[in-house]
Each structure stands twice: as structure tokens, then as C-alpha cells.
């Protein structure tokens, strides 16, 4: 998908355009002293253009502020929704009976950092593992029972297993789910109630990283891949060159690539912090998936650009 990029706009949401890069925004022209009238005219022109630039800067500044507010609102909504979802999940979880069954030996090092729930949110179009078909539920339940003893019904820690649904070309037989991490396949099995095989992956950082994942095409909807993650990465995610639904810790760059009608817009925001960071990433990727939002944003920005080009 090599879209040519006609436009590349970086929107700095940490709005303060006056403190950096500012001098470069003004055209620094070498002014040769000539006649005083000439000089006066040049000064006037310069002042005019400076005023124009200042106006534009103010416009961009207020636009940045608006976008920031918008982002904050979206964040709030997202957070509320996320919170609600967690509540619902924790309310449902006691129904999943907690048998102390353990099929196989446990992972030697049991990292209980809690898997970012939202891994699902970024990658999928319908990512709610709750409202799922019966068949799946049974299947997953069986799978999810194996690694966790599930001592209490809390929703945030010890949630080692998460499921991700990824839309995939039904002709594509490679059971790969791009999530930014690197995996090594260690097995493949044909399972009973699903015509397509299940692939088993370990994080390439194994054995130091205990994370495993299983990928299998959904039995009901062959256009969906079901990825089941077990455990938590104990290392930084790789720079997510092939996916952006990772849970990276620390400084990160969230890149929203909005491809719309040949216009490619990049929105970058640097942020520090872990939970915030993850949330921002999740939000970014969900927004990216939202065609309405991307279309609206692209239209708004390109409209603004056209308007500015005209003036």
C-alpha cells in the first residue's frame, strides 16, 4: 500500500508555538541597503508578512488548543468506557468457575504484572470478547483455565490471558498476527472443533520473556483470526514497525497515520508515563481504526489548508 504522501503535517499538541522553532518560521532575508524608499517598502512588506505569519500562528495555536481539548474529551470518554468495560468484565468473571485445574507445569517465572487489557482494543474491529458466540466462549474458557489459578475475581492483575480478534484475509493461511512483538513459532495443531489449525508462538525473547500466544482462525467467521496471549512481556516492546497495539513503557511516539484521499497526515504526540502512555496508544489506534473520525479529521485539516492556501 504505497500511498504517495502529498502532505505531511505534524501537529504538535503541546501547544506553545512561541518557544521553539520560532525564528525559523520567519523568512530571514538579507537586506541590502539601497534607497531609503526602497528600504521603507521592504520594511513594510516584511512587517506585513510578519503580521500574516503571526496571525497564522495564532490560528494554528487556537486550532491546536481545540484539538487538545478534543483529545482530552475523547480521552475522557474512552477512559469512562474502558472503566465501564472493566466493571462489566469483573462482574462477569465470577461466573467462570475457578477450578484449580492445572494441565501442565506452570511457567517457571510467574510475572503478574497484568496484561494490558486494551491490547484487544487497538487491533480489532470487534474486540469485545464478552459478547461472543457460544462456541468461542466454551473454547476460550477451556483455554483460559489452564494457566491461571484465578485466586480472586479482580479485573486488573493476574489477568494473564487476553484475546484479540484480528480481521484477516480468509485466503491468507499464515497464522500471523502483527502486534509489534517478534514471535517464534514452536508448534501447530489441528484442533477438534475448528477446521483451521492452531499455531503456538513464544516471544523471541524467551526464555527470559514468558509470553506465549496462540493464533487460530475463528471457526464461525473465517475472516477473523483469534489470538490468545498468555503472560506479560518483561521487556520493552520493539519499535512497533509492524503494528502499533503494543504496550510500550516510557517515552513513546504515538503516530496516527490518516490516509485519506491521497492525503497522508501524521499526528505526533510525545508523552511520558506508563499507564497514560498505554492508554494514549490504545486510543490512538482505536481512533485510527475509526474511519469516521479519520475522515472527519482529514477533511477538517485539508479544508483548513485549502482555506489558508486561498488567502
Partner DNA sequence: CGTTTTTGACCCGCGC
Partner DNA sequence: GCGCGGGTCAAAAACG
183 binds DNA (CB under 7 A): yes
Touching DNA, residues 95-124 (CB under 7 A): 99, 101-105
Q: Which of 83, 84, 135, 189 binds DNA (CB under 7 A)?
A: 189
Count of residues of this chain found to bind DNA when the rule CB under 7 A is applied: 26
Least distance CB 172 / DNA (angstroms): 12
> What angle is formed at CA 65 by the lines to CA 59 and CA 69, rounded to 5 degrees?
145
Q: Which of 14, 188, 253, 274 binds DNA (CB under 7 A)?
A: 188
CB of 137 to DNA, least distance (A): 15
If the CB atoms of residues 59 and 184 are measured against DNA, the closer one turns out to be 184
Pairing outcome for strands 224-230 and 161-167: antiparallel
- Cβ-based neighbour number of residue 95 at 10 Å: 8
The 3 state secondary structure assigned to the chain is CCCCCCCCCEEECCCCCCCCCHHHHCCCCCCCCCCHHHHHHHHHHHHHHHHHHHHHHHHHHHHHHHHHHHHHHHHHHHHHHHHHHHHHHHHHHHHCCCCCCCCCCCCCCCCCCCCCCCHHHHHCCCCCCCCCCHHHHHHHHHHHHCCCCCCCCCCCCCCCEEEEEEECCCCCCCCCCCCCCCEEEEEEECCCCCCCCEEEEEECCCCCCCCEEEEEECCCCCCEEEEEEECCCCCCCCCCCCCCCCCCCCCEEEEEEEEECCEEEEEEEEECCCHHHHHHHHHHHHHHHCHHHHHHHHHHHHHHHHHHHHC
Which CB sits closer to DNA, 144 or 281? 144
**Would you say 212 or 263 has its CB closer to DNA?**
212
**Interacting stretch for DNA, rule CB under 7 A, among 66-74, 76-84, 191-199, 270-278?**
191-199
Least distance CB 150 / DNA (angstroms): 14
Binds DNA by CB under 7 A, chosen from 160, 212, 217, 233: 212
Q: How far is the CB of 185 from DNA (least distance, A)?
A: 4
Total length of the chain: 311
In whole angstroms, the minimum distance from the beta carbon of 168 to DNA comes to: 16
Taking CB under 7 A as the criterion, the residue among 8, 19, 97, 193 binding DNA is 193
Of the pair 78, 229, the CB lying nearest DNA is at 229
**Beta carbon of residue 122, minimum distance to DNA (angstroms, whole number):** 22
- Closest CB to DNA among residues 118, 231: 231
Which is closer to DNA, CB of 23 or CB of 195? 195
Q: Which residue in the set 160, 214, 233, 263 belongs to the binding site for DNA (CB under 7 A)?
A: 214
Task: Give residues in contact with DNA (CB under 7 A).
Answer: 99, 101-105, 142-143, 146, 182-189, 191-193, 198-200, 204, 212, 214
Amino acid at each position: 500500500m504505497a500511498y504517495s504522501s502529498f502532505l505531511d503535517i505534524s501537529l504538535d499538541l503541546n501547544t506553545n508555538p512561541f518557544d521553539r522553532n520560532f525564528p525559523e518560521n520567519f523568512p530571514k532575508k538579507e537586506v541590502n541597503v539601497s534607497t531609503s524608499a526602497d528600504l521603507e517598502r521592504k520594511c513594510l512588506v516584511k512587517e506585513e508578512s510578519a503580521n500574516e505569519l503571526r496571525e497564522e500562528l495564532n490560528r494554528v495555536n487556537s486550532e491546536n488548543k481545540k484539538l487538545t481539548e478534543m483529545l482530552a474529551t475523547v480521552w475522557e470518554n474512552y477512559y469512562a468506557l474502558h472503566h465501564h468495560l472493566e466493571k462489566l468484565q469483573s462482574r462477569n468473571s465470577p461466573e467462570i468457575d475457578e477450578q484449580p485445574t492445572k494441565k501442565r507445569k506452570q511457567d517457571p517465572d510467574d510475572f503478574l504484572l497484568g496484561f494490558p487489557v486494551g491490547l484487544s482494543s487497538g487491533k480489532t474491529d470487534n474486540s469485545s470478547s464478552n459478547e461472543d458466540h457460544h462456541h468461542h466462549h466454551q473454547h476460550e474458557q477451556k483455554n483460559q483455565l489452564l494457566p491461571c489459578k484465578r485466586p480472586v475475581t479482580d479485573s486488573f492483575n493476574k489477568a494473564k490471558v487476553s484475546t484479540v480478534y484480528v480481521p484477516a484475509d480468509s485466503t491468507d493461511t499464515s497464522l500471523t498476527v502483527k502486534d509489534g512483538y517478534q514471535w517464534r513459532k514452536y508448534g501447530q495443531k489441528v484442533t477438534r472443533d475448528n477446521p483451521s489449525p492452531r499455531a503456538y508462538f513464544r516471544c523471541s525473547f524467551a526464555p527470559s520473556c514468558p509470553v506465549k500466544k496462540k493464533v487460530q482462525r475463528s471457526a464461525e467467521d473465517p475472516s477473523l483470526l483469534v489470538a490468545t496471549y498468555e503472560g506479560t512481556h518483561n521487556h520493552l516492546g520493539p519499535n512497533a514497525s509492524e503494528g502499533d497495539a503494543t504496550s510500550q513503557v516510557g517515552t513513546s511516539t504515538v503516530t496516527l497515520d490518516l490516509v485519506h484521499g491521497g492525503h497522508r497526515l501524521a499526528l505526533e504526540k510525545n508523552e511520558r508515563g506508563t499507564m497514560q502512555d498505554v492508554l494514549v496508544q490504545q486510543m490512538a489506534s482505536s481512533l485510527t481504526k475509526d474511519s469516521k473520525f479519520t475522515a472527519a479529521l482529514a477533511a477538517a485539516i485539508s479544508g483548513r489548508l485549502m482555506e489558508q492556501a486561498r488567502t
